Chain A
Amino acid sequence: MKLVDRFAERKPEIVREWIRKTMEAYPAESLAVLNRNKDRFANPLSYTISENIDLLFQEFLKGIDPETTTPILDKIVRVRAVQDMAPSQGLSFIFDLKGVLRKLFEKETEVTDLAREFLIIEKSIDQLALFAFDIYVSCKEKLYQIRANENKNQTHMLIRRVNEMDKQNEAR
């Protein structure tokens, strides 16, 4: 039985543990509240993480495909990018999957094959991290763009007025 199939068999347990690890980014005082309700609208943070970690793991089992995987990653990364954490902290949830899988399967006997397969699988995990990082950076860029736009919008009519005055001066 391939390792991926065994992951598939134990999917609920893996996903649960991966979500738990990801949520460790938030203080215990907050978790007590954040864990009590996962309604999409009443608690969008927990919902976004739980829902998309689950979807992400399904992608992972299927084989990562930028077309379908990236939008799922985007949902989590877009939230992490505006939270008060370093980029690496924001993306650490991807690497946490390694620990989750190793811990669940550490007692397996076929060490050599296992190790080889792990190498392949870990490559996929790293790939996820790279995609995520791309999104992260684009989110940051977007914030700067919005800040610049906002400055412009606030003085929209004044700039128009100044331009009109320039034109009138030129015409004279």
Chain B
Amino acid sequence: MSKMLQPDELIKDIQETPSLMTGKAPAKDWMDTPAEFKPGNWAYSAKTKATDALGMPNSRDWSPADEDWKLPEDWKEIISNGFRERLDKFRSFKVFMDICVRCGACADKCHFFLGSGDPKNMPVLRAELLRSIYRNDYTIAGKLLKKFAGARPLTMDVVKEWFLYFFQCTECRRCYVFCPYGNETAEITMLARELLNLVGININWIMDPVANCNRTGNHLGIEPHTFKRVIETLCEDIKDITGVTINPPFNKKGAEILFITPSGDVFADPGVYTMMGYLMLFEHIGLDYTLSTYASEGGNFGLFTSNEIMKKLNGKMYHEAERLGVKWILGGECGHMWRVVNQYMDTMNGPADFLEEPVSPITGTKFENAKSTKMVHIMEFTADLIKHNKLKLDPSRNDHLNVTFHDSCNPARAMGLLDEPRYVINSVCNNFHEMPENTIREQTYCCGAGSGLNTEEIMDVRMRGALPRASALKYVEEKHDVNMLACVCAIDRATLLALTQYWTPDVEVAGVTEMVANALVMEGENEVRDMDLREEPYLGVEED
């Protein structure tokens, strides 16, 4: 029991120390502060159903909350060999381990650091969690000087710390933009997760979609007939709202174009409105395309697991394109699908020589940027259609929306898709307002839940990571009455919805193609088109 303080001591205590319930942080060095697992700060471990199906090593039931993580006896050797193998295989990894001078330029660029104030969320320190082991095992200075050279041995505490912090990085690559040496911190996280996977440490929100995608072609594990039926239901909605009948082709051999989008657009609210948008757009221009019930997923959670699994899931899209005999692939509004396609596909599964260099059948535009991957982004495709006056648009149909645009990390930083979405938005709606400069385009802030972290059990962590994006959004909401946050990523359409509900409850989230479809003047549409795809009345239309 603590001793009773005398009044003068009590006064002094109140004055000098933080209050009794203080949140004063521990002042120990980061290496001496072990990771602490509390409900809400870690994601659920993968279920054996998923890891068994994929043949992942050390598949077992375990929980991060348990003291014993049930690792194989030789876990240290497995990780150590895996580390060495990757240093030899990926020169970039070796460079990233060696060249950081700890200048701190990245320190305050991570949304998780800015939202949590936890030093291990500074990109430099997150990488240091791995570098400290690298120094210890692979550098002379580290071997000799140990802690003085920033080295430490691999222990179970280190592995637990890796799990906590490499699953608190969304691989958004904002820190990389500011690094004078071009250290790709996202790839450090990717490789750390690969090492963890070697001993069976992974999370269910990633492994379950990977296993499903491997089995049925999409994250939810939906089988072909259900996939088809759901899209037909969306066509019935389009008919009810606009009067236009659409019968989309499925698995049509010899179609000119294969369209692939994340399954989130097919199944999740509000992604489904974007899906309706694609269907209406293709109908409007009479595109010769097909959907596939096998390549029914653009997303690739292999990117968050290992390079081997990423390659396998990406390969599926190209196999299907080959099987159907299409000329090229058109890709929907997805985030990380585009990182995989733009940065890794070409050396992983490419070049896709069995396809043709993409040419828009409507405008004749050659998409030279997609010469090798043969895959065109829907925003490039749509912007080109608008530029050539191929769409009949009535932007006033979006007058009930005050729109701002969230650059999704991957299209923005991994493929430089910055102006096309803005051009499209400005063509289909009259009220567009940018968020502040240091929060958009290359400097965009993450939604807080990319890279497989959009799972509900870590909602607190996600909302911390969402703070920087939300601060900018709040600003445009206050200044311009923004009520719609547009984006070109299916994960964003799910995660930003949680973000807005917490930080800016009056702002909704939409895909850009949803707004395109709202503005489309379709042949055969109802004489009076009085509501948008969400069945909200257009401005000036009286509600019953």
Q: Which residues of A contact B (CB under 8 A)?
A: 21, 24-30, 33-34, 36-37, 39-45, 47-48, 78-79, 82-86, 88-93, 95-96, 98-99, 102-103, 106, 139, 142-143, 145-147, 149-158, 160-161, 164
Q: B464 and A153: CB pair below 8 A?
A: no
Question: Does B21 sit at the interface, judged by CB under 8 A?
Answer: yes
> Nearest chain B CB to A61's CB is how many angstroms away?
21
Chain B: CB-nearest residue to A80: B23
Q: Which of B125-140 contact A (CB under 8 A)?
A: 125
Q: A43-B108, A44-B468, A83-B117 are in contact. Are A153 and B22 (CB under 8 A)?
A: no
Residue among B14, B461, B463, B464 facing the most chain A CB atoms (10 A cut-off): B463
Q: Are A92 and B22 in contact (CB under 8 A)?
A: yes
Q: Is B226 an interface residue (CB 8 A)?
A: yes
**Given that A147-B459, A156-B269 are contacting pairs, would A41 and B439 also be in contact in the complex, using a CB cutoff of 8 Å?**
yes
Per-residue A-contact encoding for B179-213, CB less than 8 Å = 1, 0 else: 00000000000000000000000000000000000
A157 close to B15 (CB less than 8 A): no
Across the interface, do A147 and B456 meet the contact criterion of CB distance under 8 Å?
A: yes
Q: Is A92 a contact partner of B23 (Cβ separation < 8 A)? A: yes
Q: A25-B23, A90-B23 are in contact. Are A84 and B114 (CB under 8 A)?
A: no
- Residues 96-120 of chain B: 1 if any A CB is under 8 Å from the residue's CB, otherwise 0? 0000000010011000011111110
Which A residues are in CB contact (< 8 Å) with B264?
A: 154
**In the docked arrangement, what's the CA distance between A34 and B24, Å?**
15
Which partner residue on chain A sits nearest B462 by CB separation? Answer: A82
Our pick among A82, A99, A154 for the contact of B115 (Cβ within 8 Å) is A82
Out of A25, A37, A99, A147, name the residue touching B15 (CB < 8 Å).
Answer: A99
Tell me if A's interface is mostly helix, strand, loop or mixed.
Answer: helix
Chain B residues, Cβ within 8 Å of A152: 269
Instruction: For the A-B complex with A24-B23, A27-B26, A154-B220 known, give 6 more contacts whose Cβ atoms are closer than 8 Å.
Output: A30-B118, A44-B470, A86-B23, A92-B18, A98-B14, A157-B234
Q: Contact check, B471 vs A48: say whether CB atoms are below 8 A apart.
A: yes
* Contact of B230 with A45 in the complex, beta carbons under 8 Å: no
Q: Which residues of A contact B107 (CB under 8 A)?
A: 33
Known: A33-B122, A102-B11, A153-B494. A44 touches B471 (CB 8 A): yes
| Contact yes or no, B108 A150, CB < 8 A | no
Q: Which residue of B lies closest to A147 (CB)?
A: B456
- CB proximity of A4 to chain B, nearest CB, Å: 20
Question: With the chains together, A164 CA to B264 CA distance in Å?
Answer: 20
Given the known interface contacts A96-B19, A142-B502, A157-B233, the answer about A43 and B25 at a Cβ–Cβ threshold of 8 Å is: no
B229 within 8 A of A: yes
Q: With A149-B501, A158-B267 given, is the CB distance from A84 to B38 under 8 Å?
A: yes
List, in ascending order, chain B residues with CB within 8 A of A85's CB.
23
Q: Which residues of A contact B33 (CB under 8 A)?
A: 27
**Is B337 positioned at the interface, with any CB of A under 8 Å from its CB?**
no
Q: Is the CB of B438 within 8 A of A143?
A: no
Contact residues of B between 224 and 272, Cβ < 8 Å to A: 226, 229-230, 233-234, 264, 266-270, 272
B438 touches A42 (CB 8 A): yes
Contact B27 A27 (CB under 8 A): yes
Write out the residue numbers on chain B whose beta carbons fall within 8 Å of the beta carbon of A142: 501-502
- Within the complex, the shortest CB–CB distance from B105 to chain A, in Å, comes to 11
> Can you list 7 residue pairs at the A/B interface with Cβ under 8 Å?
A24-B25, A30-B25, A41-B471, A83-B116, A84-B460, A160-B233, A161-B226
Report the interface size class on chain B. 35 or more
4 closest cross-chain pairs (CB), A and B? A89-B23, A26-B117, A25-B23, A44-B471
- The answer to whether A41 and B21 touch across the interface, beta carbons within 8 angstroms, is no
Q: Which residues of chain B are within 8 angstroms of A96 by Cβ–Cβ distance? A: 18-19, 22
When the two chains form their complex, are residues B456 and A26 in contact, meaning their CB atoms are under 8 A apart?
Answer: no
State how many angstroms separate the Cβ of A53 from the closest Cβ of chain B: 14
Question: Is A156's CB under 8 angstroms from B459's CB?
Answer: no
B501 and A45 contacting across the interface, CB-CB below 8 Å: no
Q: Give the residues in chain B near A143, CB-CB below 8 Å.
A: 459-460, 463, 502
- B residues with CB within 8 A of A: 11, 14-27, 30, 33, 38, 41, 104, 107-108, 113-119, 122, 125, 220, 222, 226, 229-230, 233-234, 264, 266-270, 272, 436, 438-439, 456-457, 459-461, 463-464, 467-468, 470-472, 475, 494, 497-498, 501-503
Contact of A150 among B11, B118, B456 (CB under 8 A): B456
Task: Identify which of B117, B220, B463 gathers the most chain A CB atoms within 10 Å of its CB.
Answer: B117
Residue of A nearest to B119 (CB): A29
Name the residue on B nearest A129 (C-beta): B21
B475: A residues at CB distance < 8 A: 40-41
Q: Contact at B27–A83, with CB atoms within 8 Å?
A: no
CB distance from A110 to the nearest CB of B (A): 16
Which residues does chain B contribute within 8 Å of A98, judged by CB atoms?
A: 14, 19
Q: Are B119 and A27 in contact (CB under 8 A)?
A: yes
Q: Are B494 and A95 in contact (CB under 8 A)?
A: no
Cβ–Cβ < 8 Å partners of B471 in chain A: 40-41, 44, 47-48
CB pair B503 A78 closer than 8 Å: yes
Contacts of A149 in B (CB 8 A): 497-498, 501
Q: B467 to A44, Cβ gap below 8 A? A: yes
* A102/B267 in contact, CB under 8 A: no
B438 near A156: Cβ-Cβ < 8 Å: no
Contact status A27-B25, CB under 8 Å? yes
Choose from B15, B18, B272, B470 the contact partner of A106 (Cβ within 8 Å). B15
Chain A residues closer than 8 Å to B15, beta-carbon distance: 99, 102-103, 106
C-alpha spacing A160/B21, complex, angstroms: 48
B19 contacts A30, C-beta separation under 8 Å: no
* Residues on the A chain within 8 Å of B116, using CB: 83-84
Which residues on B sit within 8 Å (CB–CB) of A147? 456-457, 459
The docked-state distance in angstroms from the alpha carbon of A25 to that of B125 is: 19
Would you call A41 and B438 a contact (CB within 8 A)? yes
A22 to B85 Cα, complex, angstroms? 46
Q: A42–B114 Cα gap in the complex (Å)? A: 8
Residue in B closest to A44 when the chains form the complex, CB atoms: B471
Chain B residues with CB under 8 A of A34: 108, 117
